[in-house]
């Protein structure tokens, strides 16, 4: 059974349609990333699923609940890691986890959580003495304290430096090994690729592509690009392949059958005694696909 | 790696008790709130009795301390409810704590009741402290026959001012402006509510203005329960009625306009769109 089932979700703010007909289906145990640029509608979508916002149109079922009226029973089964969340700075890490944990019928042991997010040395320190990165890790622990079936992670590493992000990823990978269903939003392509098993790209309130990191946006079927330069004395007209073009001083060929094309090309070059300089064969990276999908027309 | 603990689902009274304890813990760790609620009114009592001398105020037939102590106890209780709830709740909203609470299984009314319950508990401590100091050091009398009315007045009065505090929290744009709103209302009203001066020949406008606001009614009803020159059980029904009207009206408006998400210094729908756009 799908843990999250969304169809035709619409949210408007006055004249602005922040979410414009989003459909999602996320299965139990999946790590699903909602990827998109700022303002694409990620946070609005997730906040509707969390029950923080109401929707204008569409059907939403999360763990069998309508989040808009799920109340206590629904919130006992979800964990929310807020992007801008905070907790009373006067409490210690351990106290915060005990207090927030005490409201759930199921709990993860506080010491395990502290260890999992690597805050052992700060367990009894007041939260106001924590660094920004440590507070975000506490945030993560707070999202897990009720042993949720489903975890919402809203931009978990926004504003992190690269090493802090790597650290956070390690923690999140540990989380995925617990078998929880996770819905993650991010505007970092590499983060989605690294953590998620499935990605939906959202842009201007619509899902523009969905798939695994390997297949997203037709990446698995996308054409391969061959580029090279010819020595000055060689004649480009004599290349036995159609559709060559110049790009940044290199000759570029796009092909759906790279083995064949490359064979033709290199056979010709060997026969002519030409060295193909700076020869490279590339497939579009996920980054290329993403930029293409969310391009501002 | 980790094993869950299965525990019983907490009952609503357990949740409520947990919230009250947790709000109390935060209070004791916020020295500024503890100072203005518990210490500052005591300083006023010490100051006033030092300035005026603890003699009998001729027109009232009671000593300076006998007049000031119950009024300042009411002032302390109002600080504990009205001021602290308004400031604390709006700061918690700014910090995103209210939003976090909305994402947990704690029912919203339990959270609010926890805050209010904690505030009334602190108000009770502040009144006990004030009356205790008055009795031990300044010969203030406690009259057994009116203890019940004093307690009842306390609950009606702190309930009213807790509602007013939540009303301010609901309408205040952010936690930075809330202290200006609470102090800008409480202090002027206290001056016309027989808290800082005995009502000896007050100008008529001051009496009329004081009667409009709830503070004077709280102070009068509570003080009379300690007045040795009066007789009877001292239930001040008109005063208690006015306090109730203020309290209910404030609670209704607070419920209507209360927001759990940070207002970010702005208000209205436009702000939430801008925030959304900024955050994806």
Domains of chain A, start order = 2-214 (3.40.50.300), 222-293 (3.30.70)
Q: Which two tokens stand for residue B87?
A: 């400031």
**Structure token pair of residue B210:** 């004081």
Q: Within 13 A of A180's CA, how many CA atoms are on the CB side?
A: 27
Span A49-54, average pLDDT: 93
Contacts of B140 (CB under 8 A, 6+ apart): B63, B65, B66, B69, B70, B131, B134, B226
ipTM, two decimals, is 0.84
- Largest Cα separation within chain A, whole Å, is 78
Q: How confident is the model at residue B6 (pLDDT cuts 50, 70, 90)?
A: low
Q: How far is A112 from chain B (nearest CA, A)?
A: 6
Q: Do B105 and A43 touch (CB under 8 A)?
A: no
CA distance A177 to chain B (A): 9
Task: Domain count for chain B, please give it.
Answer: 1
Residues from chain A that touch B99, judged by Cβ atoms under 8 A, are 52, 82, 85
pLDDT band at B211 (very low <50, low <70, confident <90, very high): very high
User: What residue in B sits closest to A42 (Cα-Cα)?
Assistant: B280
Q: Which domain holds residue B262?
A: 12-279
Q: Which two tokens stand for residue A170?
A: 């390690």
Inter-residue contact B166 to B85 (CB < 8 Å): yes
Packing angle between helix B40-52 and helix B108-138, nearest 10 degrees?
30
DSSP symbols for A161-208? -HHHHHHHHHHHHHHHTTT-EEEEEES-HHHHHHH-SEEEEEETTEEE
pLDDT at A101 over 70: yes
Of B274 and B50, the structure prediction assigns the larger pLDDT to B50
Buried b (16+ CB within 10 A) or exposed e, A58-87: bebbbbebebeebebebbbbbbbbbbbbbb
Candidates B30, B270, B276; nearest CB to A43? B276
The pLDDT of residue B264: 64
Per-residue confidence band for B62, with pLDDT thresholds at 50, 70 and 90: confident
Q: Considering the domain boundaries, does residue B7 fall inside one?
A: no
The average pLDDT across B69-89 equals: 96
> Is B250 among the domain residues?
yes
8 Å CB contact of A106 and B96: no
Q: Which residue among B5, B103, B269 sits closest to A109, beta carbon to beta carbon?
A: B5
Mean pLDDT of chain A: 88
Residue B2 lies in a domain: no
A180 vs A56, residue with greater confidence: A56
In this complex, do A42 and B280 lie within 8 Å of one another by their Cβ atoms?
A: yes
Instruction: Using the CB atoms, write b or e for A10-38: b if 16+ within 10 Å.
Output: bbebeeebbbbebebebeeebbbbbbbbe
Mean pLDDT highest for which of A58-67, A249-258, B270-279? A58-67
Nearest to B68 by CA among B87, B84, B55: B55
By C-alpha distance, the chain B residue nearest A41 is: B280
Would residue B142 count as lying in a domain? Answer: yes
**Is B280 in Cβ contact with A155 (below 8 Å)?**
yes
**CA separation, residue A133 to residues A80, A130, A157, A167, B278 (Å):** 17, 8, 9, 10, 21
Is there a contact between A28 and A180 (Cβ–Cβ < 8 Å)? no
What does the pLDDT average to over B188-194?
Answer: 93
pLDDT of residue B90: 95
Percentage of chain A lying above the pLDDT 70 cut = 99
Give, in order, the Cα–Cα distances in Å from A20 to each of A9, A26, A199, A205, B56.
7, 19, 18, 5, 75
> Does position B278 have pLDDT exceeding 60, yes or no?
no
Residue A159, pLDDT above cutoff 90: no
Q: Which residue has the higher pLDDT, B264 or A208?
A: A208
Work out the average pLDDT over B256-264. Answer: 87
pLDDT score for A18? 93
| Residue of B7, B25, B270 with shortest CB distance to A107 | B7
Q: How far apart are CA B73 and CA B45, in angstroms?
A: 9
For residues B169 and B258, the answer to whether their CB atoms sit within 8 Å is: yes
Q: In the prediction, which pLDDT does B267 show?
A: 38
Determine the distance in angstroms separating the CA of A220 from the nearest CA of chain B, rounded to an integer: 28
| Closest alpha carbon within chain B to A44 | B276
B219 occurs within a structural domain: yes
Tell me the whole-structure pTM to 2 decimals: 0.85
**pLDDT for the residue B274:** 34
- Chain A hits for B31, Cβ within 8 Å: none
In a domain, B1, yes or no: no
Kindly tell me if the per-residue pLDDT of B271 is higher than 70.
no
For residues B207 and B219, give the distance between their C-alpha atoms in angstroms, rounded to a whole number.
14
- The C-alpha atoms of residue A142 and residue A138 are separated, in whole angstroms, by 6
Domain membership flag for residue B6? no
pLDDT of residue B146: 86
Provide the 3-class DSSP secondary structure of residue B189.
helix
Q: Cβ B2–A82 below 8 Å, yes or no?
A: no
Are the Cβ atoms of B279 and A43 closer than 8 angstroms?
A: yes
Q: What percent of chain B has pLDDT over 70?
A: 92
Residues B170 and B253: beta-carbon distance below 8 Å: yes
Chain B contacts to A (CB-CB under 8 A): 1-10, 15, 18, 22, 25-26, 29-30, 92, 95-97, 99-100, 102-107, 261-262, 269-270, 272-273, 276-280
Q: How many CB atoms lie within 10 A of CB B121?
A: 17
Q: Which of B92, B103, B273 to mutate to test the interface with A (most CBs of A within 10 A)?
A: B103
Query: Is B207 part of any domain?
Result: yes
| Angstrom distance (rounded) from CA B46 to CA A201 | 67
CB pairs under 8 A between A and B: 127
DSSP state of B10: P
């Amino acid at each position: 059974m799908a843990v999250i089932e969304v169809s035709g979700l619409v949210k408007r703010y006055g004249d602005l349609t922040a979410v414009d007909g989003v459909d999602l289906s996320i299965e139990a145990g999946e790590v699903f990333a909602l990827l998109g640029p700022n303002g694409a509608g990620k946070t609005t979508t997730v906040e509707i699923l969390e029950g923080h916002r109401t929707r204008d149109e569409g059907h939403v079922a999360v763990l069998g609940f309508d989040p808009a009226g799920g109340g206590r029973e629904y919130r006992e089964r979800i964990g929310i890691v807020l992007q801008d969340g905070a907790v009373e700075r006067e409490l210690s890490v351990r106290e915060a986890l005990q207090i927030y944990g005490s409201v759930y019928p199921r709990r993860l042991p506080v010491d395990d959580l502290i260890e999992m997010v690597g805050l052992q040395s700060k367990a009894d320190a007041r939260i106001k003495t924590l660094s920004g990165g440590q507070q975000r890790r506490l945030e993560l622990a707070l999202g897990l304290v009720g042993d949720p079936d489903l975890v919402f992670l809203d931009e978990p590493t926004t504003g992190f430096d690269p090493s802090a992000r790597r650290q956070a990823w390690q923690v999140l990978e540990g989380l995925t090994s617990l078998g929880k269903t996770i819905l993650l939003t991010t505007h970092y392509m590499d983060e989605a690729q690294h953590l998620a098993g499935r990605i939906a790209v959202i842009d201007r309130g619509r899902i523009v592509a969905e798939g695994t990191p390997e297949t997203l946006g037709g990446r698995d079927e996308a054409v391969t690009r061959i580029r090279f330069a010819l020595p000055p004395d060689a004649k480009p007209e004599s290349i036995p392949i159609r559709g060559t073009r110049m790009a940044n001083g290199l000759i570029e060929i796009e092909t759906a059958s790279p083995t064949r094309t490359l064979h033709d090309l290199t056979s010709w070059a060997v026969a002519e005694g030409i060295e193909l300089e700076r020869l490279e064969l590339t497939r579009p990276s996920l980054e290329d696909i993403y930029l293409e999908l969310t391009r501002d027309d | 790696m980790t094993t869950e603990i299965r525990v019983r689902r907490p009952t609503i009274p357990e949740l409520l008790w947990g919230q009250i304890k947790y709000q109390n813990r935060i209070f004791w760790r916020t020295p500024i709130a503890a100072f203005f609620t518990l210490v500052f009114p005591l300083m006023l009592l010490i100051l006033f009795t030092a300035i005026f001398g603890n003699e009998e105020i001729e027109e009232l037939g009671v000593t300076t301390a006998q007049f000031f102590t119950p009024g300042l106890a009411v002032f302390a209780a109002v600080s504990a409810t009205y001021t602290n709830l308004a400031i604390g709740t709006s700061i918690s909203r700014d910090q995103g704590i209210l939003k976090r609470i909305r994402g947990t299984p704690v029912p919203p009314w339990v959270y609010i009741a926890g805050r209010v319950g904690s505030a009334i508990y602190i108000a009770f401590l502040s009144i006990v402290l004030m009356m205790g100091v008055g009795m031990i050091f300044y010969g203030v009398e406690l009259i057994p026959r009116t203890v019940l009315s004093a307690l009842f007045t306390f609950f009606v009065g702190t309930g009213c001012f807790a509602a007013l505090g939540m009303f301010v929290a609901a309408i205040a744009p952010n936690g930075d402006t809330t202290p200006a709103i609470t102090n800008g209302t409480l202090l002027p009203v206290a001056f016309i509510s027989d808290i800082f001066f005995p009502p000896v020949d007050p100008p008529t406008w001051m009496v009329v203005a004081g009667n409009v606001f709830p503070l004077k009614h709280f102070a009068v009803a509570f003080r009379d329960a300690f007045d040795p020159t009066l007789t009877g059980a001292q239930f001040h029904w008109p005063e208690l009625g006015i306090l109730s009207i203020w309290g209910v009206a404030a609670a209704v408006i607070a419920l209507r306009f209360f927001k759990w998400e940070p207002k970010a210094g702005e208000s209205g729908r436009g702000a939430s769109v801008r925030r959304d756009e900024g955050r994806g």
